[in-house]
Structure formats: structure tokens, C-alpha cells
Structure 1
């Protein structure tokens, strides 16, 4: 399995130093995302050199957040979302997000999309990180995976597996980790973000707010 270079990894890795000391799983998650982000950066550059097509995705573009009916998310990613939303998102976005989570329906846009921006972008799921479109920006309502598959980046499976290997301790997988990944057992844990209920996350946010107000 091709490894990600250390210097590239360190450049892409996000750090929450004090929080990582409190939550051992957080370091695993951030390592995993650094591997994914580094691999995607290289893949985008390779795509441009081979096909001379630049990345269509830009700041403010949120078509995939609106059109995708299936957004895969794993338990180790969900705990990251809970942590970031509960402890890092500030007002006034915080109250807007609570409202969206409370009234979220599966047919809605992703509940973490506010004013055309992903409010959990720093800890967005792997599936979101890996979905990149080249050439022409997406039309309103278009899912380019079906309309022009050649313009959608195909993630490197080896790098994705390398990222998953870093989080297996979260699932208490101790033995034969590579076999667990290669046999796709990790994917038995995946959920669809669009089908999840978020009342527990709202409660966690409210409990955190009450605790902060009492200090």
C-alpha cells in the first residue's frame, strides 16, 4: 500500500491539541482526514496534468450538499461531528444550526449547510472530502456522478484504506486489521447522514451551553 509522505501529511493535518488529550479517538480521526486530504490534493494535481481540467469546486459552491441523497458517514466521523458542533461552533451560527437540526427532514439539504457554507467543513466526512468535480461547475440540481462521471474524481482505494486503518482502534479492532479493511468490513458500520436524527446532538449542544453559562 502506497504511503502518504510525512511532510505532506503534517502540512494537511488539523490539530486540536488540548482536545486530542481529552479524546483519544480525535487524533485517529484527524490523522485519517490528513491522509485523505493529502491524497486528494495529489489526485487533483494529477487529474489536471493528465486531462487539463481544473477543479470546478470553489468556495461558495454547495451543489453536492443539496443534491446528494446518500452521504456516507461512519461512527468515528459522527463522534467528530458531535464534538465539533457541540464545542466549537459559535453564535449566531449555533442557533441557526440547532433550528435546522431540529426540523431536518431527509428531503432537505444537508443540515450542516448554512448560507451556502458547510459549518463542519473542518471535520466533514470522508465522502464529502473525496467528492470533487472537474471542468464545468455543476448546474443547479445536477449530480455529476450520473450526468458526467468522467468529471468526478475517483478516490485512490489504497489511500482510503490507509485512512481507515488509522481509526480501527475506535472500533476495538486489534487483530488482522488489514484483513478487516480489505474485506470491506469497515463499511458495515456506515450510515447515511441524510437519514439520521439529530435530537441527541441538539441536547448535547444545549447541555454544553448550560454548563458554559454556569461557569
Structure 2
């Protein structure tokens, strides 16, 4: 385990002063090792947005036991794919093999409708945001559950992807069975850590598609070895906050 040092950052978010406290690796690491710090930062960003934008009479509908959104495509930053693969490898048997099989079965089902290849073609040819969202809805319509979903709850909640942490709704949970703008009210986050790091930290492996669909993470990691440079934790964080201030 790499050594860490405490870090403290003060900033204003949504007009509200906040203080971020987390630990950063002192050694040179790839962005994968920055995920614990990014998770803490992301959690604070989300909590602040909820405090600012959710009305007193509203509540967040998301909770354990409601896994409707866990059938949507999850966009991973490139380095998150390596983390997800590592999480799977650390699972004890026979669960590890069972989860790997879920990934494989899901990919087979999506490949049958050429979901990923069609998305890649759309992006290569140039397409609209609305068309990409519609294609993402076709993923949901396949009913493919996240391989980590157990009894409609996330079994890796503490290390779940950044994008999952940012998906919150105030509309009734049952409306997430049909996740269209007419039915679902999202918490709109101006500062999304998942999008910042997808734009900021990527290698030549990532071209038209700015993320790795989580369901393809295990396949993707096998084909693409980690090419990220190693930097000190404070250097990664400096890049992150500088980009956040001047995107």
C-alpha cells in the first residue's frame, strides 16, 4: 500500500464555501491510486449540490434495494476500468468466477444487438448528444443488470464508479423503470468529477469514445495495458483543481 499524506482544499461550490479533506499518495502513482481521494471529493461535491438544490419537501429517492438505475450504461474514466478489473480479481471464489460470468453474459447479450460497435460508429461519424442518449436508452431496454448488483443493491458500494455516485433523482423510484426526461427528475450537477477526469486523464487507448462502458471493462483491460504515466498524488490533484477552475 502506498504512503499517503493529508490534503486540505478550500473552495466555493454553488456559492457555498466548502472544505475538502482527503489523503493523497506521496509516491508516484497512476490515476488508479487517486480514486480514494476522488471518491471523497466527489461525495462532497454531490452532498453540497443536494444541500443547495433539493427543496425542503423533496428527498433523494435512491437507496439500497432500488436497483433500477443499475441497468443503465455506466461510463468509466479509462483508469476506472483498471480499478474495476482489480476489484473483480480481489473477490474470493466462487464469487469471482460468478461475477466474471455475469460480465461475459452481459457483453454477449449486448453484442447480439451490436450495441458497442454501433455506438463507436456513431461517434466516429459524428452524432448529436440526443442520439447518444437514445442509444444509451437502448442499453437500458436490454435489462442487463450490473454484474455487482446483489438483491437490487450495489455489492461494491464503497468503491463504486464516479458516475454512479453522481446519479441521484428526486422523482419516485418507480419512475426509474422508464428513465426518460418526462418521468425522472435528476439532481443536475454542474461539477461532475466523472466528466472532469474523463476529459483530463486519458491515453491513446481512448479515441472517439471518451469513456469505457463498465460492462466491457474486463474485456477492455485485457486488450489495453495501463499506459498512464506515474506522478505524485499532489501533482494529479493540482491538475484536477486547475482544470476544474479553467475547463
TM over 0.5: yes
Over the aligned positions, Cα root-mean-square deviation in angstroms equals 3.8
Report the Cα distance in structure 1 between the residues aligned to 2:183 and 2:52, rounded to whole angstroms: 19
Instruction: Compute the displacement of 1:146 (Å).
Output: 2.2
Report the Cα distance in structure 2 between the residues aligned to 1:101 and 1:130, rounded to whole angstroms: 23
Instruction: Compute the displacement of 1:111 (Å).
Output: 2.3
Q: How does 1:26-175 map onto structure 2 within 5 Å?
A: 26-48=32-54, 50=55, 52-66=57-71, 68=72, 70-87=73-90, 89-104=91-106, 105-106=109-110, 107=142, 108-139=144-175, 141-143=177-179, 145-149=180-184, 151-157=185-191, 160=193, 164=197, 168=201, 171=203
Relative to its length, the structure with more helix (as a share) is: 1
Unaligned runs of 5+ in 1: 173-184, 203-215
1:36-72, Cα deviation, whole Å (9 max, x unpaired): 1111111122233x35201111111111012x2x321
Q: How does 1:200-215 map onto structure 2 within 5 Å?
A: none
Give yes or no for contact 1:35–1:163 (8 Å, CA) kept in 2.
no
Structure 2 CA distance for partners of 1:198 and 1:27, relative to 1, 3 Å: closer
Work out the number of aligned pairs and report it.
174
1:94 counterpart SS class: helix
Relative to its length, the structure with more strand (as a share) is: 2
Structure 2 CA distance for partners of 1:201 and 1:101, relative to 1, 3 Å: farther
Report the Cα distance in structure 1 between the residues aligned to 2:220 and 2:163, rounded to whole angstroms: 23
Instruction: Compute the displacement of 1:96 (Å).
Output: 2.4
Instruction: Compute the displacement of 1:117 (Å).
Output: 2.2
Report the Cα distance in structure 2 between the residues aligned to 1:116 and 1:93, rounded to whole angstroms: 17
- Is 1:193 the counterpart of 2:193? The answer is no
Report the Cα distance in structure 1 between the residues aligned to 2:74 and 2:40, rounded to whole angstroms: 20
